[in-house]
Amino acid sequence: MVRRTEKRHLSKDKSLATRPFSPYEFMIAWRYLRARRAEGGVSVMTWISLIGITLAVFALIATLAVRAGFRAEFVDTILGANAHVTVYSTGHDDGNGNLVKGFTDYAAIASRLAAIPGVTRAAPLIRGQVMVTAFDQTTGGDVYGMSAEDLATLPRIGTGTKAEGSLADYPNGIAMGSELAKELGVGIGDKVRLIAPSGVKTAFGTSPRVNAYKVEYIFTAGRYDIDKVRIYMPFAEAQSYFNREGSADEFEVMVKDPEQVNAYTEALLRVGGPNALLWTWKQSSGNFLRALTIEDNVMFVILSILVLIATMNIVSGLIMLVKNKGRDIGILRTMGLTEGSILRIFFLCGSFTGVLGTAAGVVLGCLFAIYIDPIFSFINYWSGGGVWDPSIRGIYNLPAKLQLQDVLSAMSLSLGLAFVITLIPARKAARMNPVEALRYE
């Protein structure tokens, strides 16, 4: 009879048992978080933890967004103003013992290159270096000889870009970068002189060639090092100016998928001929991109440590809370709460801080990335200007690109650290002996 009664009581206790994270556990945890300053300053520690996590998550998301934006902007300027693949020649013997570089049948080769599946553009090119002078100002420049039709198809330089002048007038003069025009102090319609060291061939040797050209088009490619030195000249004029009559130095090839540029190697070499060689954008900028990747990883590790330090404040607050609530823990245990319930109550106290701080940090970080231009303009105005030097950074403004993967990484890191660290003082509270807690009360 007694055994049957015990079984009935046990079944009754099981039916009254509550599931984990019941409403009363949330209620008690929320009540503890709003503890008064007289109860040990727990609310102050909670606010410190909350602000620390918010700022750490904000810094992490903002840094990841700027890092992604800088990389995207840099790659876009590479792919939009330069060849994805350059096809050039090692040279051939002209029959008189002279090494001749370039391609004489450039029109046919350009057509065959453009017909390769995946190739979106193939333009013959003349390249040379000159001295540029105007209004007593002299600087160096890189000349690209290219037809008006091919120049118009360059994404960062041709039609639809930020530029002055008209491409329709380009055959009557030259096009140059905005920074080069600014340094020389020239505008649309002004004339500049180009001086090529290897110019006119005479009986006494080669003398420099000096020609004057009107500036008909001023472009801004978005990269300081491009806008500072680059000049475009009509293809036929460049052939005459650099003594390349009847030939082209190389071909500027753009493909549909620049990330898979190596997949086009075999077809490009086959069309280019036995003396053709390739130089891809990954080869020219690979070291810089690898350096960016290393910097990205290091910055993520450093900012992750900041998030860890911010979440450690949760431990300080919870240890104070457990110490101040020792009597409450003893009473709750004598009322029937299990160790698991006590652990979950104090786990919720720390988790609330982690979740709220992470959410606030995510919101601030996303707003910073979205409104980075007006924010940076305000900072630049407040500091008197000159905060961002394009000659050092390479691009003209601070970009930001908000990516879902970066936001989720920051959230996972912050919440994961907050949950794990919270378990330490919560476990200590759960294992507190109710007799010892109430002995001196």
- Tell me how far apart the alpha carbons of residues 419 and 348 are, in angstroms, rounded to a whole number: 9
How high is the pLDDT of residue 199?
A: 67
138 three-class SS = strand
Q: Which tens digits make up the pLDDT trace of 386-416?
A: 667 676 666 777 788 899 999 999 999 999 9
Chain length of the chain? 441
H-helix or E-strand containing 237?
helix 235-241
How high is the pLDDT of residue 18?
A: 58
Higher pLDDT, 216 or 37: 216
CB 121 within 8 A of CB 252: yes
How high is the pLDDT of residue 6?
A: 39
How high is the pLDDT of residue 437?
A: 52
- Tell me how far apart the alpha carbons of residues 302 and 335 are, in angstroms, rounded to a whole number: 46
E-strand ranges in 203-286 read: 205-219, 230-233, 250-255, 276-280
Q: Which tens digits make up the pLDDT trace of 193-251?
A: 999 887 666 656 667 888 999 999 999 988 888 999 999 999 999 999 998 888 999 99
DSSP-assigned letter for residue 116 = S
How far is the CA of 105 from the CAs of 89, 250, 287, in angstroms? Answer: 12, 11, 34
Q: Can you give the residue ranges of every domain in the chain?
A: 20-74+289-438, 91-274
**172-185 burial string, b = 16+ CB within 10 Å, else e?**
ebbbbbbbbbebbe
The listed range with the strongest mean pLDDT (46-60, 140-154, 277-291, 423-437) is: 140-154
CB 91 within 8 A of CB 348: no
Average pLDDT score over the chain: 82
Q: Which tens digits make up the pLDDT trace of 4-32?
A: 443 444 344 443 345 676 777 777 777 77
- Tell me how far apart the alpha carbons of residues 413 and 398 are, in angstroms, rounded to a whole number: 26
- Tell me how far apart the alpha carbons of residues 218 and 394 are, in angstroms, rounded to a whole number: 18
How high is the pLDDT of residue 74?
A: 82
pLDDT greater than 80 at residue 434: no
- Tell me how far apart the alpha carbons of residues 110 and 123 are, in angstroms, rounded to a whole number: 6
Residues sharing a CB contact under 8 Å with residue 49, sequence separation 6 or more, in sequence order: 310, 311, 313, 314, 316, 317, 353, 357
How high is the pLDDT of residue 436?
A: 59
pTM exceeding 0.85? no
